[in-house]
Structure 1
């Protein structure tokens, strides 16, 4: 079948690597053109797809919907049985052969090896341009050589050495620096009674390695050479010094093996409580993941405020779902809200992921498209769980989403609307713990005996911590470190808002500080949203509305509504109802601190506008320091006096 010009073949190659999945036009462009993308690339993709449809479905009318090559959701999908794609079928037979070999069933393994290697009709992706084709060409060529070496090992095990010589000789000519092929060729020649030829292969190998690399052959080749020179009797049937049961393992030692099953989930804090609804939802969302290789990955974003327990939930859920993803778990901290690191780029994140999949640093592609293509290829058809912790935005995450039956859990302090809209992500918005759950966590951390007779104090402390797991853990650490301190004592220490954030921090550990966590979220805001956050620190009311925000900023209502949405998307405000918002208590204290960053004149003017708009006078109590910071109260009083004097 003639599939048209080179780039048209490159397009079908990308689609064939992900059969029954929608591949976005942008992904196809990256895979076919790489970094040298012309302005006409997108139109080129549509043209090539039209050409492929004429080839694949010649009887289809121009306006008829395609059954093989379909378009949907801004991309295209090649709808086929995966067994109709030679590369996928080769990998399946290869995996079966390895399994049978591991079960000491070499004759059955050889049938699978023959089926796998019989699918090759030249080089993969021959004369196909683009970074994706280049990476697949390299990957499949390496996999083919590995399969040949493993086939040769089983052929030697069953005594069919004479049939191996021609294949190995041809491959050694094509891959002269691959030592393992030469090792098998030398042993095979020796077993065929061609001792002189086996020694000649070694002499040629030594000369080539010295001339090309300035190196001697490896220890395995040197050892085999010495055994052949000595006419070691074990070489005829097995490797000297090894029992028969270990012979099979020895024959394939040194050949590239499947990478170890990744198990990268980090340690998570003890004392997980609550979240039953969220765990049940994750269970439901992943119930279909891994059933069929052609399925799209399950993508779930866990969002919430600083300290609410997003990472803890993701890791706890990942461990509960362990058996559902037998091909491993990958983990990357993307540092989206870290005060100690810059956010991790997608390029560097892929380097970590590929390393976990056994790819050596020297084999990493230099560009994002190349790394992403290799990553997806290695995980094709694999049931893996990927945890992407602390993400910044969709652009950082998208290259890290594999295809097939994988599950990806993303945590973020920001609402990831783009992943929901474009990538079909499910979203779980995490709220603070319920009061009872907060007290249960405290009891677990400090011991239930210390809660006896102090339940009311425990509930008050939980409320002062805004029911945030991080704040509760910091407070519990204060109790654990002072056995004589009671819950009532700790409540008294936290009663005053002034200094509460100072106490909810662990010295010399910025990751265990509420103030530091809030600061990172605020620093990531656009300038106008950050200013609104600071000005809201002057406001003493419980409910925040667009008129309040507009008055504080001196702006129109539409702009205020937009900026309130930005703050809510960053989980610096909670939605209290339709078009209304509120702070939780700790963020309200932090906002009041941030208000001091505004100049005195700006604070006075903001409060004057608020009073003039009628948003400050109702319920305003200038004496109540627990509801409004002292500086804010002073400015409010002065603003009120100045406004009254004008009338």
Structure 2
């Protein structure tokens, strides 16, 4: 006779089809503990803790003995010669049953089988195992059982079930069951809005099912809930997925060899300029069609249009084209980029590709020469049939195994009709791909659009003769076609633009700022931090200031700056830096919560002051935002207010007013501030030309009578009213 236990839903047990009466809740809790630790000894104290927690009754020991005795009697095999199921020994109790007799143990075994099958490139087998696991989940685990043990296990098993749903959805996406995933995840994702992996799979499956607008709505709903409950935006992976869907990024689709729709997805809605680069690519395409191989590298920063350029050039290609797109997760999947480029998958209609997919299933050694050779041999066979073009996008994320294949294919181009086109962002020096690029083929470095090309793109997007304000707004993209398109989308959505702020930072709608910031989510954390600080500086700022706030050694700071310059995000002019695209500066600034921005301004001022930075430079950071007045700010203004007269008297006046109005400023400090205020006004009235005397004695500023009538008249023409009046007493 077969004994089995069910812990999903209410705890139950059966001999074959006959249910065993287990008794009240505490007794079933004891059984649940023993079942979840089957074939292990569980001590009496552990059972007491599981049932009652930290405050057991005085009778707990006796109750456990009673519960175990009753369970032993209920579970005693009907065959008198059989061994006891529930055993006792000197330290505790042991439930002796095979793992397959317990539904939760079978559930976890099926999950492990699914992981193994998925790792072995068998998504269909993984789906079958996960379906069997989910079928075991009859309801809330350990339903209605009291005690801390049951509560903790319920949460653990609910989380495992959600993870199982995610694994199954991911495997279904891999085999193209997008509509099925969208239907399966719709309800569960709505009940778990904070589970971003689940939301990501839902967005992707909705998009691939032709339900783009629904995918965008799901994200906006999740974003609203996340902001309301956590006070933050969704994570970078989910927001990047949203941006991909919003821009119809071709990386959302698995590209296949000779799949013309892959080219269509790479092409933007509008393409202008790049005549020289297009001519070069089309010449190489014509060459491979006539039997001549080659290698072309397209390098450029984010959003500059590398993929769009190649797709435009490949539109009229008359030979098979394979497209693969790497991403930041590619390194975890050996050969993924090259197999995608070649359309190698289990369901491929070409038996050679399907056979290779099966041969490469399972964990692989990325440097295994036999695997590399088998992929290269497939390419050789394809080239023997017809000229072949392989386009690998975002090569900077290429996995090491694919790099090994790409290196061999570069050699193959010497005697085969094979054209390799690789697009990538600027590569760090010394990287294997950079070395290969420098040794072979031709590199075309793609820059921003020229002013005329950017104007042409703007005219195509919104019509000829755009309003001057819109043209000025779009110019902040500095020729980056993706940024420019994002700006136009924002303008067309909002319909109006605010005035730019006083320091030359463009008036960017927050929605556009968020999109552009998310496009840069691929940057390492240190680079993100550097750009966030840089967004607080003036449009141009000293390199040393950035190194100072990052607290980096000079060589390390220089290396980080070089990377940002190479990536096309910063520009260098001697020892000064600035953003290459003003819109990126505003994106980092506008998406920074105000509290954080004010705290950084305050921190920045103190760091620069401690480093001996001139007072007028420090004052600029304190005045650029309404930094809360604390002890340091108050003392700094009292100490430096008079010294600002020759260079920044108006800034000094604003700071004096702000500090004087602060609730924690004492009457004594206000009296001193009023003296500084009078001196600053006197300085402006007497030296309104802005050319002060070489040295101004502090006494002249911090003391003295009120201004004469003539001086007041001159001052009225030079200051706004709020700065020409005395600090208000509290």
Give the alignment's TM-score, normalised by structure 2.
Answer: 0.41
Give the alignment's TM-score, normalised by structure 1.
Answer: 0.46
